[in-house]
Structure 1
Amino acid sequence: MTSDVADLARPLTSAGAAPTILDALEAAGRGPEGFNFHSGKGVLTGALPFSRLVKEARALALKLLGVGVKPGDHVALIADTEGDFVRLFFACAYAGVAPAPMPLPMAFGGRDNYLLHVRRMIECSAASAAFAPAAMKDWLVEAADGLDLHLVGTIEDLADVAPAPGPLTPPDPDALAYLQFSSGSTRFPKGVSVTHRSLMANATAISRHGLKTRAGDRCVSWLPFYHDMGLVGFMLSPIVAGLSVDYLATRDFARRPLLWLELIARNKATISYSPSFGFELSAQRAATVDLGTLDVSSWRCAGIGGDMIRPHVLRRFAERFGPHGFSPSAFVASYGMAEATLALSFAPLDEGLKTETVDLDRLEQEGVAAPPTSADARSREFVLCGPALPGHEIECRGPDDAAMPERRVGRVFARGPSLMRDYFREPEATAETLSPDGWLDTGDLGYLVHGQIVITGRAKDLILVNGRNVWPQDLEWAVEAGVPGVRSGDVAVFSVDRPEGEEVVALVQCRSQDPAARAGLAEEVGKLLRLQFGTPVTVRLVGAHALPVTSSGKLSRSRARELFLAMQPEAA
């Protein structure tokens, strides 16, 4: 590295000041740990020890300032799973600049839609520069055409930039650490403002209390860096804990899900997370191959988050990988969101999934989580996601904003040191979400039992059917379980307001072009939902992979609704 960095090798935070992620990085840099990046074949393609990251990020910070970016600015980063993203992220931090990680095109419908989405995010973040992986430079240049930016390009474009004179200024703990865009925001992206103080509060709570990290722990992750679970959970928190991480790109996991398990086995990893669909995809693929001598017995924290937790999927995973050392007690349910930096609750370690089955009729009609009264009663199994992290609070509130007693469904509110500062430049949205006394309206519905939070769904997705509150995932899962040939993720259910009342719609992915088969599928889906839920449903078939998903891979019901409204009327 250049001599410009040599005289800056000192802790940035002065005595008595609150720590930032840079202090954590420099502390981690005194050990041998770091980040390791693997190809789609599982080959190590790059190693980035924390000690080297400190030096390289400091040097790049001076280059950023040299190109005209100023402390307090924001920089857009297309977040591929590679070392250059990590270097640029921390270069921004050292320069006093807030990085804004942005998604790859894999979750979006077509090149033009992706470019428009990235352009909106650059504008919403008020970025003064934008960087992409080398393979995406042309796309980024096109997306940013006409915008007033100091630089649009790759990390290589900083090579010939004259560095600004040092020293680098320590960041204020209350300054913006980064902007996190909500994974569901597409037409009108909202940037979640996360300060250094909030980040450190959450990352420390995750490490010390949620996962109780210890010497010898090692992480594996395929989660994208542009999503809060990938960025905070498996890039920033491991730095705070001083742990090494082995990375697999999300696209490579999607092609070869068992490579995730192979990396855990090879590196004796102890901590790895996934939404339910990642466990499901792995179990499906494992059912068709010989796993040989695969041994994942080192995996002590198999975390689940990022979406509604599906217990039957996780049981199937445990059954398939049990003979290869996986213990069901390793499952760790958790709850959180970008507006809380990442995590709000963790289930107790070493206990596995704790679930309870409730009477679905009483849940829908009365908002009460009570046991079924008979063996043939309609029921639903929910997962307990643990108590709030230390220093945090979770309440479930009724329509009058009063806290509900245990086992009564209400809107979930949270408070604590990990919450966002605001939605960047969105004062009205911030006021709607954050109260003056610091409570966050999460937008989720749930109930408390024995102090643990149970999430039942998103408030905005709730469907009113004959006076009952019905969760769309119940209809979706019923179709997946009850209609042959329908796979997980093939169904999106939502409602549309009509003059004559609420219309319930199911978009179903169909892989057949045979008219008889298509008509039969639509009829069977409609019949099943009518019988099980007592409501007529408009069924529309779409092609394979046509249902929209968020940047984190979750089904986007709001965009599915837009897709339906844009469709020409047609017979199911």
Structure 2
Amino acid sequence: MHSTSPLTASVQGTPIEMPPSWQDDGFRDTLPAILAAWARAHGTDPALTVLDHRGKPHARAGTLTWRELDRRTGDLAAFLRRTCRPGQRAALLMDQGADYVVALLGVIRAGLIAVPLFPPARGESCRQLANAVLDADPSVILTTSNLLGPTKSFVDEFRRAPVQLAAVDTLPPLRGGVPPCPEPGPDDLACLQYQAQAVGRASAVMFSQANLVAGARQAAGALGIRRGHNTSVSWLPLFEHLGLLLGLLTPLVAGIQTVLLHPSAFHDDPLNWLRALANYPGAVGAAPNAAYAFCVSRIALRDRAELRLHGVAALADVGDSVRPEVANRFTAAFAEYGLRPWVYRPCYGLVEATALVAATEGEHTETAFYRAQLALGRAVPTVPGEVDAVTLVAAGVPRRQQVCVVDTATRTPVPDGRVGEIWVSGPNVARGYWRRSEASTETFCVLLAGAAEAGEPCWWLRTGDLGVQYGGQLYVTGRVSDVLTVDGRSHYPQDVEATAESAHPAIAAHQVCAFTALFDDGPRAVLVAERATWVFVEELDEAEVAAAIRRAVAVEHGLALREVLLLGPGLLPRTPGGTAARARCRERYLAGGLGSGWQE
């Protein structure tokens, strides 16, 4: 391994020296070069299909071939080279669709840094968008002609310096030649990925061309994607890291067709996604755990009858904790319609590692451990259903990168069966956080104890996630910052949330957040939950619901909840994937933005 810091290299603008094994494995390609190669070799094959479900019983499809996609991105890149300098930022404020893909790839091809975002809207998302645009400081904002007016009004509200606005679907004709510009290289920054769950100030992760290509190739290998055999079908938002990498860049790098749905098409009716998976050969998809639960709860039996899922090749469950009951319900619910059990693939990933770190092969593995022992840092297996047992789903094995479970106090690897922080090293690991050098150093540039003295140190990414190696697989137990520590005992929030959710039928699935807050007598546990949409608030005894939650959590975990808050449907902070955003929920609670609840 080489000791060049990814942070130092990105800040100083010097090339990163990567291990020879990574350089020789195709990780040094660039996205524009890969797209151009597919356009030359398979120009008339379909590259991108967008399904439009708006106001229609069945989707209308629009398709671009590899040659058309390459030409459109080239035209946009030529326009941007006339008006911008390499290394400047270009923010994307538009709806998901073909224009979004063209804008993203055209920006990267022009040597600019893409900032994938979303159209202006009202509420909390508008504030997040404004913070991101101010932090990125783009020289150009790309949108579509139908959004030019709202986008200009939005930008004028908070940005004093002038910024160029351009609609990618109505580019002005180029006059004169395009200034010469070198093609972007593997080490050039390609993208700033803002995190929807970040609290406080805006936070973006920096990706180089090499990071994105490496992450895409790792994901393609993990999911068994092969050109001529598979099609990617995704509804995930392209401004989120999972949608960007798994929904767009992985199929692009692998040379397979991308089929995109608008996220609202899934949230309005998850049948739209499963129907598309059934309609395209060798379909590959990805979604967070809550989305699979949503499919089971929202798709009626009469509608499932039309599905033919025999051809689906892989479905990655990534982005959230994988709950075993969801995994089993989803595979059982759709087995009758052709879904093979090994198609469902629990995975582990995070934005700082370009989405995917580990993935399973074959049918998923579940193991029951003693909950109290896990809280003490030991994975002691037990029988499922035993008192104090908690069942975890394995996240599989690392994919063309190194993973180490580490004792952070000593910075040494822990033996199998011991809980520690998950550290990752590989060509997929991002360059650091945009304009946050101190946080980047602490997160992306850490060494194992004694590594420097040993000769060839390897820089590691601290993921902030807790995990354990057991039986040759990685199990993710929780997040360091989310662990509930009350009266000297530790509890994993996702376990407490699952218990609370099952305590009363009026609680919405996957819409529960547990965290700690500081009271006069020290840190205490707080739980926030949403009412299910079918519940009439006039007929609900909220005190009874809060009492049921308290009893269940006390019996199952020995944890007393200081406060229980019940919110109306849609009021809990969410990620773009639809799951509860725990960190943002805690932030709003501490700021008094969630109101008062039932206190102990």
User: Is the structural similarity TM-score above 0.5?
Assistant: yes
Name the structure 2 match of 1:494: 515
Aligned alpha-carbon RMSD (Å)? 2.2
Inter-partner Cα distance in structure 2 for 1:43 and 1:260 = 11
Name the structure 2 match of 1:387: 397
Inter-partner Cα distance in structure 2 for 1:216 and 1:151 = 42
Q: Equivalent residues in 2 for 1:140-289 (5 A)?
A: 140-145=151-156, 146-156=159-169, 158-160=171-173, 162=175, 165-289=178-302
Q: Equivalent residues in 2 for 1:87-98 (5 A)?
A: 87-98=102-113
Inter-partner Cα distance in structure 1 for 2:473 and 2:434 = 31
* Aligned residue type for 1:481: S
Deviation at 1:50, TM superposition (A): 1.8
Q: Comparing 427-436 with 505-514, which one deviates more in the overlay?
A: 505-514
Deviation at 1:137, TM superposition (A): 3.2
* Aligned residue type for 1:276: N
What SS does the corresponding residue of 1:343 show, helix, strand or coil? coil
Deviation at 1:570, TM superposition (A): 5.5
Sequence identity (%): 25
Name the structure 1 match of 2:81: 65
Q: 2:422 aligns with which of 409, 412, 418?
A: 412
Contact 1:396 1:413 in 2 (8 A): yes
Contact 1:64 1:158 in 2 (8 A): no
Inter-partner Cα distance in structure 1 for 2:177 and 2:490 = 59
Q: 1:357 aligns with which of 358, 368, 383?
A: 368
* Aligned residue type for 1:454: Y
Q: Equivalent residues in 2 for 1:31-50 (5 A)?
A: 31=42, 32-40=45-53, 41=56, 42-50=58-66
Deviation at 1:163, TM superposition (A): 6.6
Moved over 6 A (4+): none
Inter-partner Cα distance in structure 1 for 2:147 and 2:555 = 49
Q: 1:156 to 1:480 in 2, by over 3 A?
A: same
Name the structure 1 match of 2:327: 314
* Aligned residue type for 2:348: Y
**1:234-258: CA deviation from partner (whole Å, max 9, x where unpaired):** 2111111110021111111100101
Deviation at 1:462, TM superposition (A): 0.4
Q: Could you state the TM-score of these two structures normalised by the residue count of structure 2?
A: 0.87
Contact 2:27 2:427 in 1 (8 A): no
Q: 1:208 to 1:558 in 2, by over 3 A?
A: closer
Q: 2:438 aligns with which of 419, 428, 440?
A: 428
* Aligned residue type for 1:453: L
Inter-partner Cα distance in structure 2 for 1:126 and 1:133 = 20
Contact 2:30 2:213 in 1 (8 A): yes
Inter-partner Cα distance in structure 2 for 1:184 and 1:104 = 18
Quick check: 1:525 aligned with 2:549? Answer: yes
* Aligned residue type for 2:509: S
Contact 1:358 1:369 in 2 (8 A): yes
Q: Could you state the TM-score of these two structures normalised by the residue count of structure 1?
A: 0.91
Q: 1:36 to 1:569 in 2, by over 3 A?
A: closer
* Aligned residue type for 1:557: R
Would you say how many aligned residue pairs link Structure 1 and Structure 2? 549
Inter-partner Cα distance in structure 1 for 2:227 and 2:49 = 19
Deviation at 1:469, TM superposition (A): 1.4
* Aligned residue type for 2:538: D
Quick check: 1:80 aligned with 2:89? Answer: no
**1:344-390: CA deviation from partner (whole Å, max 9, x where unpaired):** 11212xx12111111112112x2111112796321111111122122
What SS does the corresponding residue of 1:490 show, helix, strand or coil? strand
**1:505-564: CA deviation from partner (whole Å, max 9, x where unpaired):** 111223443376122112211222122222221111211111101234332112212332
Deviation at 1:214, TM superposition (A): 4.5
Contact 1:346 1:389 in 2 (8 A): yes
Quick check: 1:555 aligned with 2:580? Answer: yes
Quick check: 1:503 aligned with 2:527? Answer: no
Deviation at 1:450, TM superposition (A): 3.5
Q: Comparing 295-304 with 200-209, which one deviates more in the overlay?
A: 200-209
**1:263-292: CA deviation from partner (whole Å, max 9, x where unpaired):** 111223431111111111111123453423
* Aligned residue type for 2:265: D
Inter-partner Cα distance in structure 1 for 2:279 and 2:222 = 27
Inter-partner Cα distance in structure 2 for 1:297 and 1:568 = 48
Q: 1:81 to 1:472 in 2, by over 3 A?
A: same
Name the structure 2 match of 1:461: 482
What SS does the corresponding residue of 2:468 show, helix, strand or coil? strand
Name the structure 2 match of 1:534: 558
Deviation at 1:112, TM superposition (A): 4.3
Q: 1:163 to 1:525 in 2, by over 3 A?
A: farther
Unaligned stretches of 5+ residues in structure 2: 1-25, 447-457
What SS does the corresponding residue of 1:273 show, helix, strand or coil? strand
Deviation at 1:299, TM superposition (A): 0.8
Quick check: 1:304 aligned with 2:317? Answer: yes
Inter-partner Cα distance in structure 1 for 2:267 and 2:321 = 19
Deviation at 1:113, TM superposition (A): 3.0
Inter-partner Cα distance in structure 1 for 2:338 and 2:266 = 21
Quick check: 1:54 aligned with 2:78? Answer: no
What SS does the corresponding residue of 2:206 show, helix, strand or coil? strand
Q: Comparing 183-192 with 70-79, which one deviates more in the overlay?
A: 183-192
Q: 1:264 to 1:512 in 2, by over 3 A?
A: same
Contact 1:57 1:91 in 2 (8 A): yes
Deviation at 1:213, TM superposition (A): 2.5
Name the structure 2 match of 1:13: none
Deviation at 1:104, TM superposition (A): 5.0
**1:180-239: CA deviation from partner (whole Å, max 9, x where unpaired):** 112312531211111011112221222235434342211111111011111111211111
Unaligned stretches of 5+ residues in structure 1: 1-15
Inter-partner Cα distance in structure 1 for 2:303 and 2:356 = 36
Inter-partner Cα distance in structure 2 for 1:382 and 1:116 = 37
Q: Comparing 329-338 with 128-137, which one deviates more in the overlay?
A: 128-137
Q: 2:473 aligns with which of 445, 452, 455?
A: 452
Name the structure 2 match of 1:12: none
What SS does the corresponding residue of 1:178 show, helix, strand or coil? strand
What SS does the corresponding residue of 1:324 show, helix, strand or coil? coil
Inter-partner Cα distance in structure 2 for 1:133 and 1:383 = 42
* Aligned residue type for 2:580: L
**1:24-74: CA deviation from partner (whole Å, max 9, x where unpaired):** 1112223113110011244234212121111111111111223x2211111
Name the structure 1 match of 2:339: 326
Quick check: 1:125 aligned with 2:136? Answer: yes
Contact 2:331 2:344 in 1 (8 A): no
Deviation at 1:571, TM superposition (A): 4.7
Inter-partner Cα distance in structure 1 for 2:347 and 2:80 = 37
Contact 2:225 2:254 in 1 (8 A): no
Q: 1:95 to 1:124 in 2, by over 3 A?
A: same
Name the structure 1 match of 2:308: 295
Name the structure 2 match of 1:472: 493
Inter-partner Cα distance in structure 2 for 1:104 and 1:313 = 32
Q: 1:354 to 1:214 in 2, by over 3 A?
A: farther
